[in-house]
Amino acid sequence: SELATSSSTHALATAAAVGSAPALQLPPGGVRHAQALVGQELPAVVFEDPAEGSGVMFSQRQALVSQRRALASRYQKGDLVEGVVATIKIYGASVEFGPGITGLLHISQITHTRLPNVEEVLKVGDRIKAIVLSIDVEKARWTLSTKKLERQRGEFLSDRQSFMEHADEQAAAVRHKLVPS
């Protein structure tokens, strides 16, 4: 693939087609980093360019949304997921629980006990189980909770091993509350 930049549209050439990708169809930050995309293989949806008639347009953004929808269809609100803490921020931790899927475990959803900061409880690389509270496919946001899986207040903090061992049975009980039949 080859990418040549202009102000609002980026020309793309592949073995099968030549076309362009409007700036809005690149992933977030794609325009600022367009030069870094040169030579990269990128997933893209191909569609006709109505302005040019015979040309084609590429949309990496649409391809990413399609991938997210496919990934999201594997998970539902109330599902128990197991993942690895990928990053820690002041407001919570991102947990990677599937290929290309990262959910936010907000500080308020870690435990019933008040936490002054996330780093006191979680470290990058920690393996945890959490329940899916919500999924926003368009924005690629999964909201997670360990707090809802606690059998007793603060269990996630005081006895992580027990918490992990009983997460499956707790998830079944919580699922009925989150997803009424």
Q: What is the pLDDT of residues 50-85, one digit of tens each?
A: 565 556 666 666 666 676 677 667 788 999 999 999
Burial of 11 (0-12, 13-18, 19+ CB in 10 A): middle
Query: Higher pLDDT residue, 63 or 98?
Result: 98
Please report, to the nearest 10 degrees, the dihedral formed by the alpha carbons of residues 111, 117, 121, 124 taken in order: 120
How much is the pTM?
0.66
pLDDT for the residue 178: 83
